[in-house]
Amino acid sequence: MRRARGARGRGGGGRRLMDIRLLEAAPTSEERGAVDACLGPPRSAWDGGARGSMRDRHVAHGGQSMRDRRHRLLPALQALQARVGWISEGGLAYVCERLDVPPADAWGVATFYALLSTTPRAKRVLHVCDDIACKCRGADALIEELERKAGPAHAHAPDADHVRLADDASVWVRSPCLGMCEHGPAALLQQGGLAPSEHQVAALTVDAALEMLAGGTDQVPSVPAAVPRCIGEPRLLERVGKVDPTSFAAYQESGGFVALEKALALGAERVIADVIASGLTGRGGAAFPTGRKWDAVSKQTVKPHYLICNADESEPGTFKDRVLMEQDPFAVIESMTIAGFATGCERGFIYIRGEYPLATERLQYAIDSSRAKGMLGARVMGSGVRFDIEIRRGAGAYICGEETAIFNSIEGFRGEPRNKPPFPAESGLFGCPTVVNNVETLANVPAIVLSGGEAFAKVGGGQSTGTKLFCVSGNVRFPGVVEVPFGTTLREVLDLCGGVAGGRKLQAVLLGGAAGVFVRGDELDLPLTLEGARAANATLGSGVVIAFDDRVDMRAVVLRIAAFFRDESCGQCVPCRVGTVRQEEALHRIAAGRTIGGVRSELALLDEVGVSMKDASICGLGQTAYSAVESAIKRLGLYEDV
């Protein structure tokens, strides 16, 4: 269930819970400065300003105007975390005063996100990935050595007396997938302070980790540029590695913003008609037809409409959206502007996972320079169209990629999914009609506008039109993002990445991510289409392809997946909250040879729990939490000889 990272496997002993009666807790000047830098200075005594002004005694503030600021809660908490390294009672109390949010409510939000620490923690934190793709690249051995040399990972709720909070103090924590699977073992270094900084770390070594913990970064391997691999003409990766992602001029020279100009000339209805004709389906996992979604939102009479680009990308093994955002950020801005225009949105949000600092920086630069050049703002390209984009960073919660959880997260609540209906097209962000699209989905839009929907649909076929990005990692020679036409086989995708590294034998492939399924080495002729995957009782999910060679301990991989779901369940509904725990427990009992009633009875229990989660959970997390485990049991036969 949602709680800060580092909590795994730790008993409740010694755990300190914050008292949520915060009236006496006062912020330090550092905390006050961090919050004011985020929210602006207080406007009155009612929101944290100095008392005694005559005006404040006669003018009441609050009500709607304060409620309208609730959406600043997560950014304010993130500002505290970035400046001080953790969120103290005083800091939280000040945020509550500034935004008029009840402390218990704000506490519930702060404790929801793994990147926010509500217990004392050093300002320098090294997040080391121990997830499945990095396991294939030596993460377990690296972590063991790091534990020996640097001591154990920082615990979630340590005894405060033993936490060093000096400016040069540092800690390391275990992390679920950081979305850097092609560069594993991966890490993320966060340095808090007045000028906070973040570094994504590729091919982590113990020496580099120790250096970072000691305060240096000289030996930290920089992240190599992406090397895209394609079958056929690339549409989405066309500029990756070729066009400077930090230059507006370079983007324009490479054909950027021509599609936006054409879309404005064609008109919204025609753009939507083309997207419908293209057959484009969502690339975020659910494969819903994009044109239908856009059409539904555009027809809503309730205003305003909102657009959200879902860049949360926290499914283990997924990193395609990061590559697009880091390497072609202007294309994301152009695509969103076309989508906003077509669906009648004047405001768009990019909800990006907190572990993607480079992508965030590049997108922010692309937004600022596009606005300065008139591509965003009150008159997009000199037309009468208004559209602008704001970035919101997640804070370490996989569930916040679920479209309705994003609404709650942006609005300043715990990122818990909402019941559907109402669907987002009718009632989404701030209760208004909202389009939510994945980064890759949106990235297809300029090509559709430029060449027309029917031309787009000529690649691939059936319900699977266009090209698809796959995130290939694990034991392949050249891990990375590939772009292939729908219909390419799994074997061809693996071959494109050089096949299994070191001439080893392929044991299994995880297709579609933690919410996907394992397939066997003799199933590689599977055509990668929505229909092909469905017929094979599999899913393409978010485009994950993790290859495991014959040395990998697959039961450890399955256990890691089960731990991931247990950790990431928001805990809102019983089948998922309890089921993900029971599932992990049963797998642990099998692994330890301490089964209750034998392995067959544990497998029967797993099936019963899995079916309950599938049938009775309210969102996709619970509904898919058994998928990979089930396929490991039934498809790989992983527990047959236990």
Ligand X SMILES: Cc1cc2nc3c(=O)[nH]c(=O)nc-3n(C[C@H](O)[C@H](O)[C@H](O)COP(=O)(O)O)c2cc1C
Q: What does the alpha-carbon distance between residue 362 and residue 353 come to, in Å, rounded to a whole number?
A: 14
Q: What does the alpha-carbon distance between residue 454 and residue 389 come to, in Å, rounded to a whole number?
A: 30
**Three-class SS state of 297:** helix
Name the residue nearer to ligand X (CB basis): 473 or 475: 473
Q: Which two tokens stand for residue 455?
A: 């031309």
Applying CB under 6 A, among 98, 137, 392, 577 the residue interacting with ligand SF4 is: 577
Any contact of residue 567 with ligand X (CB under 6 A)? no
Name the residue nearer to ligand X (CB basis): 263 or 570: 570
- Kindly state the greatest CA–CA separation across the chain: 79
Shortest Cβ 574–ligand SF4 spacing (Å): 8
Phi, psi angles (nearest 5°) of residue 114:
-70, -25
Q: Which residue has the tokens 């939000």?
A: 109
Any contact of residue 417 with ligand SF4 (CB under 6 A)? yes
Applying CB under 6 A, among 280, 622, 632, 636 the residue interacting with ligand SF4 is: 622
Applying CB under 6 A, among 401, 415, 512, 541 the residue interacting with ligand X is: 401
**Three-class SS state of 484:** strand
Applying CB under 6 A, among 618, 632, 633, 636 the residue interacting with ligand SF4 is: 618
Question: Which residues within the stretch 96-135 sit at the binding site for ligand X (CB under 6 A)?
Answer: none
Any contact of residue 278 with ligand X (CB under 6 A)? no
Applying CB under 6 A, among 283, 322, 347, 362 the residue interacting with ligand X is: 283
State which amino acid sits at residue 77.
Answer: L
Q: Which helix (H) or strand (E) holds 295?
A: helix 290-298
Q: Which two tokens stand for residue 553?
A: 């301990």
Any contact of residue 343 with ligand X (CB under 6 A)? no
Any contact of residue 402 with ligand X (CB under 6 A)? yes
Q: Which two tokens stand for residue 391?
A: 């970035």
Q: Which does 285 bind (CB under 5 to 8 A by kind): ligand X, ligand SF4, none?
A: ligand X
Q: How many CB atoms lie within 10 A of CB 516?
A: 29
Torsion, Cα 327 330 332 334, to 10 degrees, reads -160
Shortest Cβ 511–ligand SF4 spacing (Å): 22
Inter-axis angle of helices 29-39 and 89-99, to 10 degrees?
30
The DSSP annotation for 469-480 comes to EEEEEESBSS-E
Applying CB under 6 A, among 97, 238, 313, 584 the residue interacting with ligand X is: 313
**Three-class SS state of 519:** strand
Any contact of residue 295 with ligand X (CB under 6 A)? no
Q: Which two tokens stand for residue 642?
A: 């236990």
Name the residue nearer to ligand X (CB basis): 617 or 631: 617
Cα angle, residue 292 at apex, residues 419 and 391 outer, rounded to 5°: 65
Name the residue nearer to ligand X (CB basis): 337 or 507: 337
The 8-class DSSP code of residue 362 comes to H
Phi, psi angles (nearest 5°) of residue 625:
-65, -20
Q: What does the alpha-carbon distance between residue 632 and residue 642 come to, in Å, rounded to a whole number?
A: 13
Dihedral of alpha carbons 308, 314, 320, 323, sign: positive
- Among residues 85, 97, 90, 86, the alpha carbon closest in space to that of 39 is found at 97
Q: Which does 389 bind (CB under 5 to 8 A by kind): ligand SF4, ligand X, none?
A: none
Q: Which stretch binds ligand SF4 (CB under 6 A): 59-67, 83-91, 352-360, 571-579?
A: 571-579
Name the residue nearer to ligand X (CB basis): 251 or 398: 398
**Three-class SS state of 236:** coil
Question: Which residues within the stretch 441-480 sit at the binding site for ligand X (CB under 6 A)?
Answer: 441
Any contact of residue 399 with ligand X (CB under 6 A)? yes
How many residues bind ligand SF4 (CB under 6 A)? The answer is 14
Shortest Cβ 447–ligand X spacing (Å): 15
How many residues bind ligand X (CB under 6 A)? The answer is 23
Q: What does the alpha-carbon distance between residue 134 and residue 474 come to, in Å, rounded to a whole number?
A: 7
x/- contact string, 584-623, with ligand X (CB under 6 A)?
A: -----------------------------------xxx--
Q: Which does 334 bind (CB under 5 to 8 A by kind): ligand SF4, ligand X, none?
A: none
Shortest Cβ 400–ligand SF4 spacing (Å): 10
Q: Which does 457 bind (CB under 5 to 8 A by kind): ligand SF4, ligand X, none?
A: none
State which amino acid sits at residue 289.
Answer: P
Q: Which does 570 bind (CB under 5 to 8 A by kind): ligand X, ligand SF4, none?
A: ligand SF4
- Among residues 69, 73, 68, 71, the alpha carbon closest in space to that of 116 is found at 73
Q: Which stretch binds ligand X (CB under 6 A): 97-105, 179-187, 220-228, 310-318?
A: 310-318
> Alpha helices of 517-573 — where are they, by DSSP H?
530-535, 554-568
Shortest Cβ 634–ligand X spacing (Å): 23
Name the residue nearer to ligand SF4 (CB basis): 215 or 422: 422
Per the CB < 8 A criterion, the answer to whether 175 and 130 are in contact is yes
CA 482 to chain centre: 20
Any contact of residue 572 with ligand SF4 (CB under 6 A)? yes
Shortest Cβ 356–ligand SF4 spacing (Å): 22
Applying CB under 6 A, among 114, 399, 447, 632 the residue interacting with ligand SF4 is: 399
Any contact of residue 570 with ligand SF4 (CB under 6 A)? yes
Which chain residues interact with ligand SF4 by CB under 6 A?
A: 399, 417, 569-573, 576-577, 617-619, 621-622
Which chain residues interact with ligand X by CB under 6 A?
A: 282-286, 288, 310, 312-315, 398-399, 401-403, 436-438, 441, 619-621
